[in-house]
Amino acid sequence: MDYTTVTTQNVDSSGLATGLMIYGLVYLVLAVVALVAGWKVFSKANQAGWKILIPIYNAYIVLKIVGRPGWWLLLFLIPFVNIIISVIIAIDLAKSFGKSEAFGIVALFLFSLIGYLILAFGDAKYVGPSASSKQTPATA
């Protein structure tokens, strides 16, 4: 019989633990910054800031802010459709704060945290829901 010897190596896991702690701390800081920015954006849009803290409900409030119906929440459950809906909502949110479509796509969709910080702490003013002010060709 051939017996093999199993050796164990001492692995210094302190570097891994430190890295995970730093990662967790950075994640926590970014989450708090995102919540503060969302709170301020909600306040500018005449909504209670605490509503940003409740998952799913905060998406419903964003739909109200931009003037889209609440049933659009269901569209977020459909793969690939949710991406298109997110872009539309980002554009509508930008227009609701007097910003351009390009701002909606680049700042609010691609770089969300930066876009929300600009809306929250910049000179953007809420001008009303952009989607509800659109007229369809049949009613124009």
Q: State pLDDT tens for residues 7-28.
A: 666 666 788 889 899 999 999 9
Take residue 64 and report the two structure tokens written for it.
């109200």
Whole-model pTM? Answer: 0.79
What distance in Å separates the CA atoms of residue 80 and residue 125, rounded to the nearest whole number? 31
Determine the Cα–Cα distance for residues 39 and 80; give it in Å rounded to an integer.
Answer: 28
131 confidence band (pLDDT: 50, 70, 90): confident
Of the two residues 137 and 78, the one the predictor is more confident about is 78
Amino acid at 41: V
Distances (CA, A) of 75 to 15, 59, 69, 133: 43, 12, 11, 21
Predicted pLDDT of residue 17? 87
Nearest to residue 65, comparing CAs of 36, 102, 93? 93
- 92: pLDDT strictly greater than 60: yes
Specify the pLDDT at position 139: 44
Query: What is the tens place of the pLDDT at every residue in 96-109?
Result: 999 999 999 999 99
Residue 138 pLDDT > 50:
no
